[in-house]
Amino acid sequence: GNSVTQMEGPVTLSEEAFLTINCTYTATGYPSLFWYVQYPGEGLQLLLKATKADDKGSNKGFEATYRKETTSFHLEKGSVQVSDSAVYFCALSEGSGNTGKLIFGQGTTLQVKP
């Protein structure tokens, strides 16, 4: 079945460092891909998305490119801030004709130190 695998955390960085969180997926068809962010005690917020191969999603300085050849959707940010500390989830939504349910990776905790 479909699945998402993320790099294990926690990831600890200093402020202004470069961030990469790896995400790979297994899916039949043509899924849409998402990154969600969860701050402590809160629900998930959509960070960015990509719906087809080679699409780049971007938001708040974060970027991720849908790579069909490597089945990856790695999250990157050039310069992290303390306020970026949160748990990041990669997810896929199965393609057309399906229910749209999301399949999540296990989450990666990011800690940014001043």
Partner 1 sequence: NAGVMQNPRHLVRRRGQEARLRCSPMKGHSHVYWYRQLPEEGLKFMVYLQKENIIDESGMPKERFSAEFPKEGPSILRIQQVVRGDSAAYFCASSPGGHEQFFGPGTRLTVL
Which residue is listed with tokens 């790695």? 74
Q: Is residue 105 a contact residue for partner 1 (CB under 8 A)?
A: yes
Backbone torsion region of residue 71, taken as left when φ is above 0, otherwise alpha when ψ lies between -120 and 50, otherwise beta: left
Taking the least distance from each CB to partner 1, the nearer of 14 and 98 is 98
Taking the least distance from each CB to partner 1, the nearer of 32 and 77 is 32
Residues 22-51 within binding reach of partner 1 (CB under 8 A): 32, 36, 42-46, 49, 51
Q: Is residue 82 within 8 Å of 93, Cβ to Cβ?
A: no
Q: Is residue 22 within 8 Å of 72, Cβ to Cβ?
A: yes
Q: Could you list the residues that contact partner 1 (CB under 8 A)? A: 32, 36, 42-46, 49, 51, 89, 93, 99-107
